[in-house]
């Protein structure tokens, strides 16, 4: 029977993952740690203990992993300033990796990201796990994720722990709505009174318009990510690196359609020009501005390895995941 220590159990992936661990007969005890208060009773979890703590506090991390057979590192920040992002995603991750190695954990599981590959012109049309992770310097999250993977292998170099590194694409679903929260018109619209939103929805000419550069992207449901993490936690499949993405591809027009909005083609040249124009100012712009990099060119992943070696079978395709995400945002 396993004891599993988890950083970031209250996040968009964390809740689904803890739910999967609660259902796994191989897991006896789960210890979760995050910075904010959290009500365990509201989730109905029975195996899980919750501690408030910060991954930047090495003593708190050491205490978290002390008795763990498996350490799962989910805590990260996606949209933040360059300094804050680097501190949490790099210094915090180093604390977790080194503490897990020192404690003698059997397995260390880390959620990296498709962003670790970077957003480069010479990427192959479909990324496999053999593609080097280079990150993109002017996209803090991308650069941090690539560097964090190097930190992980360095921390485990002299130990015996098996490492599983997951690189999911954009994670979405009812409890992972960041994709839509980064759409400024939507976040502003959700602050309007209900009757006003209803009136706009009934008037097609007043519905917002999203520019679509035509770049395809992938989605993966948080429950499917949780299933992959749980399989690794109980020791299924081979240790190593795994891409995670649900079946199918989408574009911005699909988002607009699900929202009941309009979309218009936006030439790639215009998108690239916009990205180049804002690049020199990225350190001074809101963190969301860096994400313009992600719509410049496709970054699509092959998930054959996860299916064959981890026996991972996603239950949600991209369109279904988007639909559930939109419904959740609309219900707020």
Is 136 found in the same domain as 59? Answer: yes
Residue 145 near residue 89 (C-beta atoms within 8 A): yes
Is 280 found in the same domain as 312? Answer: no
332 lies in some domain: no
110 or 280, which is more confident? 110
Is 231 found in the same domain as 88? Answer: yes
Global pTM exceeds 0.85: yes
* Average pLDDT for 274-279: 43
* Lowest mean pLDDT segment, chosen from 70-74, 99-103, 176-180, 315-319: 176-180
Is 205 found in the same domain as 141? Answer: no
Residue 123 near residue 117 (C-beta atoms within 8 A): yes
pLDDT at 28: 97
pLDDT at 192: 37
Q: In the structure, what pLDDT confidence band is assigned to residue 296 with cuts at 50, 70 and 90?
A: low
323 lies in some domain: no
285 or 95, which is more confident? 95
Is 41 found in the same domain as 91? Answer: yes
* Average pLDDT for 144-163: 94
- CA dist 254 and 259 (Å) reads 9
Q: In the structure, what pLDDT confidence band is assigned to residue 83 with cuts at 50, 70 and 90?
A: low
How large a percentage of the chain has pLDDT more than 90? Answer: 60
Tell me the DSSP string of 119-179.
Answer: --TT--SSB-TTSPP---TTSHHHHHHHHHHHHHHHHTTTS--EEEEEEESEEEBTTB-HH
Is 106 found in the same domain as 29? Answer: yes
63 or 212, which is more confident? 63
138 lies in some domain: yes
Q: In the structure, what pLDDT confidence band is assigned to residue 205 with cuts at 50, 70 and 90?
A: very low
In the chain, which ranges are continuous DSSP H helix?
14-23, 40-43, 58-65, 82-86, 93-103, 140-155, 178-181, 184-189, 194-202, 222-233, 252-259, 268-278, 304-309, 318-330
Residue 229 near residue 111 (C-beta atoms within 8 A): yes
pLDDT at 40: 85
Is 96 found in the same domain as 79? Answer: yes
Provide the CATH number for the domain around residue 153: 3.40.50.720
307 lies in some domain: yes
pLDDT digits (tens, 9 = 90+) for 17-50: 999 999 999 999 999 999 988 888 888 899 999 9
271 or 164, which is more confident? 164
pLDDT at 84: 66
Residue 106 has pLDDT above 50, yes or no: yes
103 lies in some domain: yes
pLDDT at 182: 63
Is 195 found in the same domain as 112? Answer: no
Is 152 found in the same domain as 101? Answer: yes
pLDDT at 79: 55
pLDDT at 183: 61
Is 198 found in the same domain as 61? Answer: no
145 lies in some domain: yes
CA distances from 322 to 13, 178, 183, 301 (A): 16, 12, 14, 18
Count of Cβ atoms closer than 10 Å to residue 67 Cβ:
12
Residue 124 has pLDDT above 50, yes or no: yes
Is 130 found in the same domain as 59? Answer: yes
324 lies in some domain: no
3-state secondary structure of 242: strand
The residue range of the domain holding 210 is 178-214+251-295
Is 130 found in the same domain as 26? Answer: yes
117 lies in some domain: yes
How large a percentage of the chain has pLDDT more than 70? Answer: 80
pLDDT digits (tens, 9 = 90+) for 237-263: 999 999 999 999 998 899 889 988 888
pLDDT digits (tens, 9 = 90+) for 298-319: 889 999 999 999 999 999 999 9
Nearest residue to 209 via CA among 200, 196, 217: 200
* Lowest mean pLDDT segment, chosen from 149-158, 177-186, 202-211, 227-236: 202-211
Specify the number of domains making up the chain.
2
pLDDT at 36: 87
């Amino acid at each position: 029977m396993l004891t599993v220590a988890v950083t970031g159990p209250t996040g968009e992936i964390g809740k689904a993952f803890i739910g999967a661990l609660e259902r796994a007969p191989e897991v006896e005890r789960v210890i979760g740690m995050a910075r904010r208060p959290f009500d365990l009773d509201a989730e109905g979890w029975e195996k899980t203990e919750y501690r408030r703590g910060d991954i930047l506090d090495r003593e708190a991390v050491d205490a978290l992993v002390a008795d763990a057979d498996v350490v799962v590192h989910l805590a990260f920040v996606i949209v933040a300033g360059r300094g804050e992002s680097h501190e949490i995603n790099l210094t915090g991750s180093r604390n977790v990796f080194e503490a897990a190695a020192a404690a003698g954990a059997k397995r260390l599981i880390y959620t990296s990201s498709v962003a670790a590959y970077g957003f480069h012109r010479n990427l192959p049309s479909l990324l496999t796990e053999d593609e080097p992770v280079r990150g993109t310097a002017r996209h803090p999250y991308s650069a941090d994720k690539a560097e964090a993977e190097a930190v992980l292998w360095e921390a485990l170099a002299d130990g015996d722990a098996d490492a599983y590194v997951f690189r999911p694409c954009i994670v979405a679903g009812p409890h992972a709505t960041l994709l839509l929260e980064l759409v400024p018109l939507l976040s502003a619209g959700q602050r309007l009174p209900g009757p006003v939103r209803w009136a706009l929805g009934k008037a097609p000419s007043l519905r917002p318009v999203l520019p679509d550069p035509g770049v395809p992207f992938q989605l993966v449901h948080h429950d499917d990510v949780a299933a992959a993490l749980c399989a690794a936690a109980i020791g299924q499949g081979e240790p190593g690196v795994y891409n995670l993405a649900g079946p199918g591809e989408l574009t911005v027009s699909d988002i607009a359609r699900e929202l009941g909005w309009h979309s218009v083609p936006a030439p790639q040249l215009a998108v690239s020009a916009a990205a180049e124009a804002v690049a020199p100012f990225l350190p001074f712009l809101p963190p969301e501005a860096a994400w313009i990099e992600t719509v410049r060119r496709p970054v699509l992943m092959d998930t054959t390895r996860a299916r064959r070696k981890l026996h991972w079978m996603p239950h949600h395709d991209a369109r279904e995941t988007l639909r559930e995400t939109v419904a959740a945002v609309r219900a707020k």
